[in-house]
Amino acid sequence: MAGFGIAFVLMHSLFFEGAYYLCNIMKFDTYMVHPIRKRSVFFVYLSMFVFAFSLTSCFDVVEDVSLKSNGSGSIKATVNLSKSKVKVASLMKLDKVDGMKVPSKGEIQNEVNDVVKLLRQTPGISNVQHSLDFNNFIGTLSCDFTNVTALNTFTKTLSTHFKAKVSSYSSYSYDAKTKIFARTSAYSDEAKKGLAKLKPENQKSFSDAFFTSIYRFEDNVLKQDNKMGKVSDNKKAVMMRVGVLDLVNGKVSLSNQISLK
C-alpha cells in the first residue's frame, strides 16, 4: 500500500494503498470516487477510474517492487481491466453509476497528469513513466526511488493533495543493516462500509477482483511473515495474490516482513 487505486488517482490508491482503496469511497472535488495502490507500494491501488470500472466484472491490480541492497529501487503499479474491456467501454458512455459520476477519458488523463507531476516533484523519485491504454483499459505508473522513505513521502503528498488519509493505512520500511524489508498495511472498516453503499449486483463484481504484490530483491529471501506470501524458487522474490473482497472484509492483510540474507 504506500495504493496501490490509481482518475489514475487510480495509481495513487493502487500505488500506495493497494486494494484497500478499491472499496473505500472518498471525496474528491465534486465527485465521489472509489479509490486502487496502490495504493499501494503501495498504491493504489480506488480512484474515479477504478471505482467506475470496478463495477464491470473482473480486474487485476499489480504492485511490482524491485529493491536493491542499498535500499534504492523501482516500483510499477498496473491496473488491468482488459478482461472486461467491452463492459468498460459501455460504462464510459454513461454519466453516472449508482448516482456517482463516471469520469471521462479527459478527466482520467488529467488525474494521471496531476499524480505524475506530484511524483516528479518528490525528492528521491526519478524516471517517472506512465501509460493509459483506452482500447484494452490498462493503466501503468512506474518510477525509481533512492529509498523507501521517498515512497512514503509521496504517499503523504498525495494524502494532502487529495484530502484523503492515504498515509494512515500503509507504509514501507527497509533497514540495510539488518536487511529487513517491511510493509505495514492497517485494516479499516471504512472500505467495508464503502462497499456496502453499492448495489448488491455491483458488490458481486469484486469477487473477480484481485490484488497482486511482487517484491524482488538482489539478496536471497531468508523468510517472510505473511501466510499468503510465496517465495520464488530462486529465493529472489516474494509474491502474494489476494482477493479484493478478502482485503475489504479484513480476512487477509498486505502487511509483511521480509528478511534477506
Q: What is the pLDDT of residue 159?
A: 67
Cβ proximity of 61 and 211 under 8 Å: yes
Tell me the residue length of the chain. 261
Domain boundaries, the chain: 9-260
Cβ proximity of 169 and 43 under 8 Å: no
Please state, rounded to an integer, the average pLDDT across all residues of the chain. 73
Give the pLDDT confidence of 13-44 residue by residue, as tens digits: 333 333 333 333 222 222 233 333 333 333 33
Give the pLDDT confidence of 192-222 residue by residue, as tens digits: 776 777 677 666 767 788 889 999 999 999 9
Cβ proximity of 166 and 10 under 8 Å: no
C-beta atoms surrounding 160 within 10 Å: 11
**170-189 burial: b if 16+ Cβ within 10 Å, else e:** bbbbbeeeebebbbbbebbe
Cβ proximity of 129 and 115 under 8 Å: no
51: pLDDT strictly greater than 90: no
Q: What is the pTM of this model?
A: 0.77
Q: What is the pLDDT of residue 164?
A: 58
- Give just the sign of the alpha carbon dihedral 251, 240, 55, 95: positive
189 vs 215, higher pLDDT: 215
Residues near 248 by beta carbon (within 8 Å), at least 6 away in sequence: 19, 20, 22, 23, 191, 192, 195, 206
Q: What is the pLDDT of residue 21?
A: 34
The segment with the largest mean pLDDT, out of 69-83, 87-101, 149-163, 181-195, is 69-83
96 vs 183, higher pLDDT: 183
